[in-house]
Amino acid sequence: MRLTPIATLRSRITSTARRFGRAPNSVSLIAVSKTRTCSEILALAAYGQRLFGENYLQEALPKMRMLAGQLLEWHYIGALQSNKTQEIANGFTWVHSIDRAKIAQRLNEHRPAYLPRLNVCIEVNLGAEATKSGVALRELPALARAVLACPRLRLRGLMALPAPSKHSDEQRANLRALAEGYHALRAEGIDLDTLSMGTSEDFEAAIAEGATMIRIGTALFGPRGEATLKA
């Protein structure tokens, strides 16, 4: 019998966690559903998948409205623009991609009082590539303090999307740098519980380095088409 992609992925997550001495349920799976249809999302929800990640607000909102009865948990993992913070703060449970204080402050202002605090991660740019979003590791403590000053946000941890690499040593070195930034903040007494790292290409390396949330698209849904949707 052929396993479904989600069953295969779950068994790889479990075996990788065990191999590195971790409890399998210490790694949460976010299904990255950018460019995917509601019926593709529902097909995964039927297997008990609850956490979904989206990158483009204009694409995500109609899907979230259609699927509102499904009790799914939506994670915003894309680039953040100031004019989108209100809808993001209203619709999502998590935002993984905080990269500047101004965006954190706007999400804080817009998070409705009737909802729980918005869970957030700070996105770190590990490669220091100018084209990539995220804050440099050395700027992390100052941004963490700015986020902690926002009462409607709950700082949970760090996120990164390292430059792709086929070599597991290289993958692990990048991911380890994020884990070190995370432990440094915890050593300062900041209460964090989330390391959001690992995609279809490198989730095993990420689990080895301590990821608590992995974000998987291709390995669940198959390859994405060339036509990427814009925010």
Ligand X SMILES: *Cc1c(COP(=O)(O)O)cnc(C)c1O
Tell me the residue number closest to ligand X, measured at CB: 217
Q: Which is nearer to ligand X, 10 or 145 (CB)?
A: 10
Residues 197-226, one symbol each (x = binds ligand X by CB under 6 A, - = not), give: --xxx-------------xxxxx-------
What is the rounded CA–CA span in Å between residue 96 and residue 80? Answer: 10
DSSP state, residue 127: S
Minimum CB separation of residue 56 from ligand X in Å reads: 10
| DSSP conformation letters of 59-89 | HHHHHHHHTGGG--EEEE-S---GGGHHHHH
What residues pair up with 122 in beta bridges, in sequence order?
Answer: 98, 158
- Cβ distance 200 to 216 under 8 Å? yes
Q: Which is nearer to ligand X, 84 or 215 (CB)?
A: 215
Please tell me whether residue 87 binds ligand X under the rule CB under 6 A. no
**From residue 6, how far is each of 131, 200, 219 by CA, in Å?**
32, 12, 8
Quote the longest CA-to-CA distance of the chain. Answer: 53
Minimum CB separation of residue 149 from ligand X in Å reads: 26
Given candidates 16, 33, 49, 55, which one binds ligand X under the rule CB under 6 A? 55
Given candidates 161, 207, 208, 213, which one binds ligand X under the rule CB under 6 A? 161
Rule CB under 6 A: which residues touch ligand X? 32, 34, 55, 77, 161, 199-201, 215-219
